[in-house]
Amino acid sequence: MDRMVSDSDLARLYLSLEGAQLVRDLLIEGDAQSDGFDLDLLASLLSECPPEKCLLILACSAGALCDHIDIDPSLKLSLKLLAGDVLDDYAPLYLAHLKSRKMDGFEGQMIYMQEDLEGFAELFALAGDLSELDSIPYQVCAILSDQACAQAEYLEGEDIDIDYSMDHVIEAEKPSLIIFSDNVIPFPGLFRKP
């Protein structure tokens, strides 16, 4: 099976995603080095990023989970297959944006984004259930599953615009006041970007 993303691009992608590095560190260090702050940081990173970036973090995290903890072979295969599909679908746009360093975001429709998030939510929940209760892998899987589920719920009924912009606020041009008819003025939040 041919991958659309090379190994060097995968390494660059992995190094550009803080959440994926944090998951790997948590799984390698285990219970000895965890103080709870890292788990809170992971939840914050995943909840504050856009769904397409969250998917990339989840895909890299699935790889780390498969590499660093002992899980059921069929679950490992399912995680690797979903992670590979997500990386093939979303990584090229993200990497192209990293290369260009443009401040504008990419826009497009991703039809299967919600399904991919729901798939990760189910697989991480299952991996957590198979881990020892209250261990670091259990807690990491619970956070990954919860955040994937929350991102999928966010996308329900949403028109998905892909935003691969860097983690900073882009100043948008404010729209001028538009009058729809003689006595109707639109609500100011109408033009606010999410």
CB burial string 63-93: b at 16+ within 10 A, e below = bbbbebbebeeebbebbbebbbebbebbbeb
Show me where the domains of the chain are located: 7-169
DSSP state of 189: G
What predicted TM-score, i.e. pTM, was given to this entire model? Answer: 0.75
pLDDT in tens, 72-99: 999 999 999 999 999 988 888 888 877 7
Alpha-carbon Rg for the chain in angstroms? 19
Alpha helices in 130-179 (DSSP H): 136-155
Q: Which pLDDT does position 90 carry in this prediction?
A: 84
Longest dimension (CA), the chain: 68
Check pLDDT > 60 for residue 1. Answer: no
Phi and psi, residue 179, nearest 5°: -105, 120
* Residue 119, pLDDT above cutoff 90: yes
